[in-house]
Amino acid sequence: MEYATSGGGSSFAQFQLKRTEDVHIHAQQLQSWEQEYEQVSRGPFHGEVRELTAPSLQIFEERASCATVQYCKPWHGGIWIGLPSTASYDGLRFMGHSVADAVVMWASNEQPFDLLVPAAVGLYGVVLDLRDLQQHLSWREGVPSDSVWTADALTAARLHSLGTAQRQRMAGLVREVLRNLEENPHVLQHSASYHAMHHAILGVVCDLLIPQAARHPAADEPSHRRRRALVRRARQLILERPQDFLHLSQLCAALHVTRRTLHNCFDTVLGISPAAYLREVRLNAVRRALQDPDLAHLSITDVAAQLGFWHMGHFGQEYKALFGEPPSQTRRNAIGRQLCVCQ
């Protein structure tokens, strides 16, 4: 569903409800974001995104049936504030830190961030333009915005501490915005209602910043940053040369770390073992390749073998257990989508 504003001015807003049954298509649903997802729990994937987008505002709820590891970067100049939309979110991690009750997640396009989102855990997200946020802060306080929060402070990735009432207010407003737009999308035809909604969101976010609350331990603490960097480097190596990293010993040697160090880093950052992650990343890479029309000439066996799977029986079982369908079905679905596009 898409709805555009009207009534003068240059604003263009649209509301969309998007559903998908593939983790990699799901990763592409948020407009203007750079995202890569890996499915890391077993079962058929069902994803859903409710999203309002406008030139300087984005509000969304995202939910998936399976656990995912996510590498994300919002649009240029965007400040992202995220919080769970479901009552239970045990295991949710932002940049390797567990997300507690009294925090929201905060990031920008200045630094990509990573998430481990458990199965069926929903996330609310608000993305505001940095300049809009600075101007609203300045207006609220009657002083230059950088005397309250500098641009560097506003763009720094962190878990931001706040009171229970603040968090409930923000979650409630985002929930009501999305619920109302799903039921009454025609309100986006009126610039006045859109701008009032934008102003309300800015006000709630500024309430999180003024007065400045005590912060949760920084997401970029040096020791923790090193662990996250190692996990990211491990993933990069696996994807670049999967045939070279079939065992943890090869990965440890390339990263110049011990098995214990590698295990501790993965346990701290993602809460899963490096062996499990190694397998899931390679299976996700197979799925992407099977959906790539440029690789349609390769057999499923060839694709799997190029990504280090030598026992086709075990590969097929692991693939179906993770994605809820055999690899042959993934390829058939991809061919069907391609035919629909071409017609």
Q: What is the pLDDT of residues 218-247, one digit of tens each?
A: 555 778 888 989 998 998 888 888 767 777
Angle at the Cα of 65 (from 287 to 173), degrees rounded to 5? 125
- Over 60: is that where the pLDDT of 332 sits? yes
Cβ atoms within 10 Å, residue 72 = 20
- Asked if residues 113 and 229 have their Cβ atoms less than 8 Å apart, the reply is no
| Measured distance CA(343)–CA(336) in Å, rounded | 11
Taking the CA of residue 66 as centre, how many other CA atoms within 13 Å lie in the half-sphere pointing to its CB? Answer: 25
Higher pLDDT, 99 or 209: 99
pLDDT of residue 240: 84
Q: How does residue 213 score in pLDDT terms, banded at 50, 70 and 90?
A: very low
The mean pLDDT of 31-58, rounded to a whole number, is: 95
Reply yes or no on whether the pLDDT at 60 is more than 50.
Answer: yes
Distance, in Å, from the CA atom of 302 to the CA atom of 309, rounded to the nearest integer, reads: 9
DSSP letters spanning 176-228: HHHHHHHH-GGGGGBHHHHHHHHHHHHHHHHHHHTTTPPPPSPTT-HHHHHHH
Question: Residue 124: its pLDDT value, please?
Answer: 98
Measured distance CA(100)–CA(282) in Å, rounded = 31
Q: What is the pLDDT of residue 342?
A: 63
Q: What is the pLDDT of residues 248-305, one digit of tens each?
A: 888 888 999 988 899 899 988 888 888 888 889 889 999 999 999 999 999 999 888 8
Q: pLDDT tens, 108-154?
A: 999 899 999 999 999 999 999 999 999 888 877 666 766 667 888 89
Confidence of residue 41 (pLDDT cuts 50, 70, 90): very high
